[in-house]
Every structure is written in structure tokens, then in C-alpha cells.
């Protein structure tokens, strides 16, 4: 879905303020490095500024109209003077950069301006990066480059020094929730997704992931068993948890979900119900929050964070989870 300037400004206000000033002062750089974690709007903003450079009917001298011939063709990916390079397999090859240089040696099809965008620029081979460096060292005044990456440290320092670097910040929880709900995510699910990831792309994937939906149910069941009948917790661990959370990444996700349950209980005790993320379970969690002490909740959250640390240190996952369940039971009237 094509996002407008105003929508993207909500996601990355600092980046768009810098670019707006550059456009209004006619000081567009010959190369920009758009760097930040996945799903923070890098590609969309690169495309947005490309439209600004070609738009026939700019709004307020910097916003693309989205309706002219050039804007529509850029949105559909078939403008003759806009070129995109992506990894061919695992890397961007030298030949891809040379082909790009060949295109840019020709006169612009419809104007003197040309734009190229290199996605996953960190995946350029050494020879491809050196070819690009020569390209950047002798910039044409009408050529603009956008290098998009999540790993700027992988790029040659000489390439970085020839680009204006635009750091994309992780999205705020509020901006994430608004974007998710606007794009069809259930308003009861969006706050949970916004706590688990800063990436809109990953949030959308999780929202339709059956494994993730089942994971939430298993984590809630484990919490309820811990509170109602801790003696059955090990049975739930063996029967449900270990069959669903198999690798380290999945176990870590499960621990994140478990931690968010305890955070919600704490928010309820502090009378901050608007901050809970398991919205659909609000009433059930209120009942548990009435019985839990703030001190015990704090200790349980510390135990989960310690389990995450041990998992990262490659402790046996089964042993780590069994140890965690025993720690979470401490202070219960059942033990």
C-alpha cells in the first residue's frame, strides 16, 4: 500500500524533516544511506522522495501529488529513469552494478534526472562495492542514489563517507499501533504486536501466523496452571510447551509473551489498565492481579529475564524452562 508524506512523517518525523528542508532549499544530496531495522519505512521513504524529484504537480513544493503520470509510474515500478537493484541470490554482484552504470551512462529517457535505489546494500560483494564506489566518487549532478540497509557496519567506510546518512529510528509503540489498526489488525491484538517488535513487516507476519496464535494460548495456559495448580505446571510444560516452542528463537518468543503477562498484571495493580497488551484477556487477568503481590510479580519477571539470559548463553532449553517454572512457583500457596 502506497503511503502519503503525512503518513510516513508520523513514522519517521526527523528523517522527513531533513529531506523536506533539502527539497525546499534545492540541496538534494547525490547519495543517501537509509539505515535502520526492518520495517521502519526505509523503502517507502526512498520511493517517496523519488516521486518528489519527478512529480509534475508538487503540493507545497515538496509533497508528491501521487496522481500525475510520473508518480503513478514510480508507484507501479516502471518509470524508465528510476532503477532498483536487489541481491541476486545471496549477494549483489559486480555485474549488477556495472549494468546500472551502463544505464546511467545513457541520457535520461524523459529528463536529465536519474534515480537508483540499492536494497540490502550491505550484501554487495567486494567487487560490486568497489564498482559502486567509483560511481559515487564521480557523481552526476542529476543523479540521486538511495542505499537501503539494516547493517550499515557491513558497508565500506569509503562508501559511507560519500553518502548522507539518514538513521531510521524504531517506531514508537503508539505509531506502531496506529499503523497496524489502520491496516486491518484487530485493535485488541495490535498493542501486543507493538510490544514484541519494532518492525511493521514482522508485526503483519505475526498477525497472520498460526504458530504465533497458538503460542499465545499455550503461554496463557502455562500461566493459569502456575497460579491455579502449580503441581500440573511440569505436565503442561512437557505436553504443550516443548512440543510447540522448539528452537531458541521460538522459546525466546514464548518467554517474551510470558513476561508481557506479568507486566499486564503489574499495570492492572497500578491502575494502568490502558497499558495492558493482552486486551482480550483483560477480565481474566484482573482476577489474577487481585491475588498477586507486587513483590512476587517483580520476582517472577526477574526470573523470566534471567531465563532469557541463560537461553542466550546456550543453557539447555529444557533444563532452563523446568528451572524457570520452579522459580515462578515460589511464593505460591500450592507449594
Question: Residue 199 falls within a domain, yes or no?
Answer: no
| 332 pLDDT above the threshold of 60 | no
Q: How many domains does the chain have?
A: 2
Q: Are 166 and 237 part of one and the same domain? A: no
Mean pLDDT in residue range 151-163: 95
Question: Residue 194 falls within a domain, yes or no?
Answer: no
Q: Are 12 and 84 part of one and the same domain? A: yes
pLDDT at 1: 66
- Strands in 82-85's sheet, in edge-to-edge order, are 82-85, 114-119, 143-149, 31-35, 164-167
Q: Are 108 and 41 part of one and the same domain? A: yes
Which 8-state DSSP code applies to residue 30? Answer: S
Share of the chain above pLDDT 90, in %: 77
User: Using CA atoms in the order 227, 228, 233, 236, what is the torsion angle rounded to 10 degrees?
Assistant: -120
CATH number at residue 130: 3.40.50.300
Q: Are 165 and 250 part of one and the same domain? A: no
Is 216:209 a contact under the CB 8 Å cutoff? no
Q: Are 22 and 136 part of one and the same domain? A: yes
The residue among 170, 188, 223 that closes a domain is 170
Q: Render 5-24 in DSSP notation, one character per residue.
A: HHHHHHH-HHHHHHHHHHHH
| 138 pLDDT above the threshold of 70 | yes
Determine the structural domain holding residue 30 and report its residue range. Answer: 5-170
Q: How does the average pLDDT of the chain come out, rounded? A: 92
CATH number at residue 239: 1.20.272
pLDDT at 108: 63
Cell numbers describing residue 334 = 500450592
Output the pTM of the full model: 0.74
What are the pLDDT digits (tens) for 44-84? 999 999 999 999 999 999 999 999 999 999 999 999 999 99
Amino acid at each position: 500500500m502506497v503511503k502519503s508524506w503525512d503518513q510516513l512523517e508520523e513514522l519517521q518525523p526527523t528523517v522527513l524533516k531533513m529531506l523536506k528542508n533539502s527539497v525546499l532549499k534545492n540541496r538534494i544530496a547525490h547519495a543517501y544511506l537509509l539505515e535502520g531495522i526492518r520495517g521502519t519505512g526505509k523503502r517507502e521513504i526512498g520511493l517517496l522522495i523519488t516521486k518528489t524529484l519527478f512529480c509534475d504537480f508538487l503540493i507545497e513544493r515538496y509533497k508528491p501529488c501521487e496522481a500525475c503520470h510520473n508518480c503513478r509510474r514510480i508507484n507501479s515500478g516502471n518509470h524508465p529513469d528510476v532503477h532498483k537493484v536487489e541481491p541476486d541470490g545471496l549477494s549483489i554482484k559486480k555485474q549488477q552494478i556495472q549494468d546500472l552504470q551502463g544505464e546511467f551512462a545513457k541520457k535520461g529517457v524523459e529528463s536529465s534526472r536519474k534515480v537508483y535505489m540499492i536494497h540490502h546494500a550491505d550484501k554487495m560483494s567486494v567487487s560490486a562495492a568497489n564498482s559502486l564506489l567509483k560511481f559515487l566518487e564521480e557523481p552526476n549532478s542529476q543523479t540521486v542514489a538511495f542505499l537501503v540497509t539494516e547493517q550499515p557496519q557491513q558497508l565500506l567506510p569509503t562508501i559511507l563517507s560519500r553518502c548522507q546518512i539518514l538513521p531510521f529510528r524504531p517506531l514508537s509503540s503508539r505509531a506502531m499501533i496506529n499503523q497496524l489498526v489502520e491496516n486491518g489488525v484487530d485493535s485488541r491484538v495490535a498493542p501486543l504486536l507493538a510490544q514484541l517488535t519494532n518492525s511493521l513487516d514482522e508485526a503483519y507476519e505475526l498477525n497472520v501466523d498460526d504458530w504465533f496464535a497458538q503460542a499465545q494460548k499455550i503461554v496463557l495456559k502455562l500461566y493459569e496452571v502456575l497460579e491455579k495448580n502449580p503441581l500440573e505446571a511440569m505436565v503442561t510444560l512437557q505436553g504443550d510447551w516443548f512440543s510447540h516452542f522448539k528452537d531458541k528463537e521460538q522459546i525466546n518468543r514464548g518467554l517474551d509473551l510470558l513476561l508481557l503477562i506479568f507486566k499486564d498484571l503489574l499495570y492492572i495493580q497500578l491502575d494502568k489498565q490502558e497499558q495492558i497488551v493482552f486486551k482480550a484477556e483483560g477480565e481474566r487477568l484482573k482476577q489474577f492481579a487481585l491475588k498477586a503481590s507486587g513483590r512476587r510479580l517483580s520476582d517472577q519477571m526477574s526470573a523470566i529475564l534471567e531465563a532469557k539470559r541463560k537461553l542466550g548463553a546456550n543453557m539447555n532449553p529444557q533444563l532452563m524452562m523446568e528451572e524457570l517454572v520452579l522459580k515462578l512457583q515460589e511464593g505460591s500457596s500450592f507449594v
